[in-house]
């Protein structure tokens, strides 16, 4: 069974950074792209970007280009997203999601979400 287990809730000060993890089980992360998605109730779902864990290639939405950094550790079958220079606008739930339908960019397995709260 494919599962994506995300790290726990985070509380950070403005200006700091946070690194979220997404550990895959039931498949090898090198076989699929991994997406990251931001969810704020008042703003809906926003696609951040994807990483190809096999070679580290990344693609970001322009608005997250300088905010998010996607990486992956194939030895632990885990994907990561680092968010930098945090502001209140980064308070959200973040999801990792496997790209399932190559060549289609759709998300066929999701993590449970990781809450990030940015507050002084």
Dist CA 65 CA 60 (whole Å): 6
Q: Which of 10, 12, 46, 117 binds another protein (CB under 8 A)?
A: 46
Q: Which of 31, 89, 108, 119 binds another protein (CB under 8 A)?
A: 108
Decide: is 53 part of the binding site for another protein (CB under 8 A): no
CB of 108 to another protein, least distance (A): 5
Q: Which of 12, 21, 54, 61 binds another protein (CB under 8 A)?
A: 61
Only one of the segments 20-28, 58-66, 68-76, 84-92 lies at the binding site for another protein (rule: CB under 8 A); that segment is 58-66
Decide: is 55 part of the binding site for another protein (CB under 8 A): no
SS (H, E, C) the chain: CCEEEECCCEEECCCCCEEEEEEEECCCHHHCCEEEEEEECCCEEEEEEEEECCCCEEEECHHHCCCEEEEEECCCCEEEEEECCCCHHHCEEEEEEEECCCCCCCEEEECCCEEEEECC
Q: Which of 84, 100, 115, 117 binds another protein (CB under 8 A)?
A: 100
Q: How far is CA 24 from CA 39, 80, 112, in A?
A: 21, 11, 12
Decide: is 45 part of the binding site for another protein (CB under 8 A): yes
- Note the residues at the interface with another protein (CB under 8 A): 4, 44-47, 59, 61-63, 95, 97, 100-101, 104-112
């Amino acid at each position: 069974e494919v599962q994506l287990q995300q790290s726990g809730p985070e509380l950070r000060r403005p200006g700091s950074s946070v690194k979220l993890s997404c550990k895959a089980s039931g498949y090898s992360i090198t076989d699929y792209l991994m997406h990251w998605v931001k969810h704020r109730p008042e703003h809906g779902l926003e696609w951040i970007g994807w990483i190809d864990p096999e070679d580290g290639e990344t693609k970001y939405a322009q608005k997250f280009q300088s905010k998010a950094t996607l990486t992956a550790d194939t030895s632990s079958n885990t994907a990561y997203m680092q968010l930098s220079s945090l502001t209140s606008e980064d308070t959200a739930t973040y999801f990792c999601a496997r790209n399932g339908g190559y060549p289609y960019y759709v998300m066929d397995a999701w993590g449970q979400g990781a809450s990030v709260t940015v507050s002084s």
